[in-house]
Amino acid sequence: MPGLRPRAYDLAAAALVALCPSVAIAAVHDVHTHRLDNGLTLHIAPGHPAPVAAVQAWLGVGSADEAPGEAGVAHVVEHMVFKGSAGYGRGELVRAIERGGGEINAWTSFDHTVYHAVLGADHVDAAIHALGDALLEPLVDPDELAREREVILEEIRQGSDDPARGVAQSLFATAFVAHPYRRPVIGTASSVQGIGERELIAFFRRFYVADNLTLVVAGDVDPVRVQRSVERRFRAMPSGRPPRRAPIEPPQTEVRAACSHRDVGEAYLAVGFHVPAARHPDLAALDVATIVLGQGESARLPRMLRDGEQLATSAYASLHALRDPGLLVLSATARPADAPRAVAALVDRSAHLIDDLGAAELDKARIAVETALVRQLETAQGRARALGWHATVAGDPQFGHVYLDRIRAVRRHDVARAMQRYLQPGNASVAAILPTARTRPARTAWARQAERRVARALAAAPTPAPAAQAEQRVVLASGMTVLVRRDPSVPIVAMRAVWRGGQRIEDADHAGASALLARLLTRGCGARDAGAVADQIDHLGGALAGVAGRNSFGASAEWLARSWRPGLELLADCVLEPALPTAELVRERRLLIDDQRAQATSPSQAAFRLFSEALYGGHPYARDALGSPAAIARLSRSDLAAFYRARYPVAELTLAIVGDIELDDVIAAVEQRFGRIPRPAAALPAGRGSSPVASSAPLAFDGRSAEDREVYRYLDRAQAHLVIGFPGATVSTADRFALEVLVAVLGGQSGRLFAELRDRQALAYRVSAHSVEGLDPGFVAIYLSCAPDKLGAAVAGVREQLARLRAEGVTAAEVERAQSYLIGSHRIAMQRRAAVANAMAYHEAYGLGWQTWADYDAAIRAVTPAAVAAAVASYLREDRALTATVRPPIATPGAVRRSKLPAAPPLPPAKHPPPRPRGNV
């Protein structure tokens, strides 16, 4: 079904998908369906190569079922279900799942509410029992409701700072005038403040009934045992069919547009067209159209508007299939001056699909559908989500099979007819968020202009059991290391090419060189230009991209098993013969700087960047991972080519290939392309890879006073953002596993920080703990965002928890919970072939041993409370704490001028404005 696909989305499109989540088109085979006496429907999808199970409860109720005066109540109910039930106190539901090495969460959408857990398969009964208790016998404590209401208000404030979410909500509010789809799923601040205990209970009793619940269990499970467990726990759930609101959206007759201004770096644009509900036959042709238009690097909109005409910095198309009629959305980001033309071009280029859709583009769309199907089935949670969505929204758990047949039957004339039917002026709505400027057109004037441009553009348009695995390590004559692992459980092959390098080896004159090279790696190679590379990637049904980070550089690829050979050839061409064309360099340099400008307005990124600058000083880790605009602007093609040759020779390359392959075939193919390349005359330093530019430089804050270890910036946003951090570990430090357990004790939904700052005090919506290791010491950090007037209390709460850790250490129960969570999360993450290829390649390149990634579980289990206490003493030292705060302006106008974050990089040095916010470390 149209919706989430494993591709790189632009921000606006990602927010639109998040606004109305749908699911990829996976059709699950071997499904056991049962209907309990009370009306509950159970779907079981057994069989999985990993000992993992997913349990998902799909309630057929969302924000579209709310009365106008109770907007947001479905989302509040979702939050409160986690706050305690008859058999589980506050936080105990999460701990019950984490004891099984898993995680649990939920989401609310327009049409449904979903509670989902994934954990070790031997704990599935516990998950069914815990989830059943929460859904049958939740407790509503007025004080708990008041605290959670504050948390949701923080969530709303956080969303108000996100322009991508804002343009999505504005589009739906403009396109729908009567249907509840026009309201934000989360509600508004005023509506949430009006939701009390009585409204909550009434809504729960109406909709949380057995006839409205679809339970899905997928993975390595016994269907008979699962059925018995579900019947024991859920048979007491009351039956009954809930009242269903059936609002009728009046037909739209003319273009509608809405425009607003915010403090953003670029324009966010979206155009929506009403389309039928999920089961309508036209959806298949419209899905093909959106794939051709805006999904993948070779899609029309990014190729035309971003690469060719350079009217947009990103462009995307998506189809939102909903229970009631939804939207086809064209979205883009653009420089402010280009926004009016970008809106018209979005519509014009899309409408011309009626005329010139070719057989090759149709084939690419079908391959994209098949790729989405295969990837969806790779994980237990993916299979469960496919079943749940089809059952709840489409009304048939096996609707995926019907939809696949429709996709295969789509022809050119079907796409042309569907586009002509729905891309009409009277069916179009436009939403825009534009940067604030001193002189700006009135909102209504810009909106009317957009309406006229869209109308003109449309008027001018043409009418089983896991198989045995094997693995091998080979060093070629060229010096390159090849790691191969056979896993035929899913017809996918993942490849990861890795060098030590990245940001760590760049000096100031080359800051951003690796990031720029990563973008250029697939923008032309050998005899292919950028368009030919993108075409071949899509024809192969794969993905290929350059990757650059703090410690590494390389490329990642993923292919269907039948196309791994041409996929390897393309990867080799990009690595061995990157063209680095000047035109692409100019374009990618501009886009990289545009990305920096957009990131500069993100308060969370600004907080971490401020922290890194203060922590690392002259070390390359201090810089933005994207580099510096000045250095990027100076880098010529010859500079980049020389840097690539010097820093990334084949002799230092590690290539890992994992999937449905034969080892000998792969090794022979790699040897043929990479084995005969001569080693460089001058060997690089020992240890596989270049040494860092400033590895011996002391941390920037060493020797500072306590006051000087606090840095600030002002940014006019609704929330304050805080990072409290410390120098961290390297990837090879012996106590890094104890540090991971420590961070898990602090973070996560059942960690100390979440329990105290969010659940008990409702001070912050988002609070998390992180450990980022590197080849040089990384950092340990606590991050939170909150209302500015709560900042002092939130910081005091963090300080209190850190002081408790230093004084009391951690309990055996906390360590056990953290271990179960980390091991379970690791197993869930390692379901994908790409994750295994990444782990093998990085462990080899970093000198850790290519097979040691498989020892993670044992290493985590070996951590003791004493080891965690030692990690606290080593890393969470009060005299080495560094605090970085980004918050709305306070203090004098002069202090504000000295401290305010500019609209575009480079960022100025951090200031220390008086007075300091109370409570900061």
Read off the pLDDT of residues 456-474 as tens digits, 9 standing for 90 and up: 888 876 664 444 458 999 9
What is the predicted pLDDT for the residue at 703? Answer: 52
Average pLDDT rounded to a whole number, residues 634-661: 94
pLDDT tens column, 382-420:
999 999 999 999 889 888 888 888 888 888 888 989 999
Mean pLDDT value across residues 853-879: 94
With beta carbons less than 8 A apart as the criterion, state whether 416 and 362 touch: no
Element (H, E) at 768: strand 764-772
Cα separation, 108 vs 77, in Å, equals: 9
**Two structure tokens written together for 826:** 């690791």
pLDDT band at 11 (very low <50, low <70, confident <90, very high): very low
Residue 217, pLDDT > 90, answer: yes
> What phi, psi does 881 have (nearest 5°)?
-75, 140
- Are the CB atoms for 541 and 563 separated by under 8 Å? yes
Q: pLDDT tens for residues 668-690?
A: 999 999 988 887 765 444 334 45
Interval 787-834: pLDDT, tens? 999 999 999 999 999 999 999 999 999 999 999 999 999 999 999 999
pLDDT at 354: 76
Q: Which residues contact 642 (CB under 8 A, 6 or more apart)?
A: none
**Full-model pTM:** 0.83
Of the candidates 174, 192, 214, which has an alpha carbon nearest to the alpha carbon of residue 70? 192
Distance CA 579, CA 529 (A): 8
Q: From residue 517, how far is each of 31, 481, 588, 716, 820 by CA, in Å? A: 46, 22, 9, 34, 39
* 914 pLDDT more than 50: no
Tokens of 900: 């305010």
Q: What is the mean pLDDT of residues 844-861?
A: 94
Helix ranges restricted to H, 688-733: none
Strand order across the beta sheet in which 103-108 lies: 32-35, 41-46, 213-219, 52-59, 113-120, 103-108
Q: What type of residue is 680? A: P
Instruction: Return all residues near 402 (Cβ < 8 A) that are at least 6 apart.
Output: 396
pLDDT over threshold 70, residue 749: yes
End-to-end CA distance of the chain: 50
Q: Residue 698: its pLDDT value, please?
A: 47
Distance CA 857, CA 822 (A): 8
Tell me the average pLDDT across 236-241: 92
Which DSSP string corresponds to 531-544? HHHHHHHHHTT-EE
Report phi then psi at 253, rounded to 5: -120, -10
For residue 83, give both structure tokens.
Answer: 């706050």
Q: Give the bridge partners for 55, in sequence order.
A: 117, 217
Q: What mean pLDDT is reported for the chain?
A: 86
Parallel/antiparallel/unpaired status of strands 481-486 and 779-786? unpaired
Residue closest to 157 by CA, chosen among 719, 715, 788, 793: 719
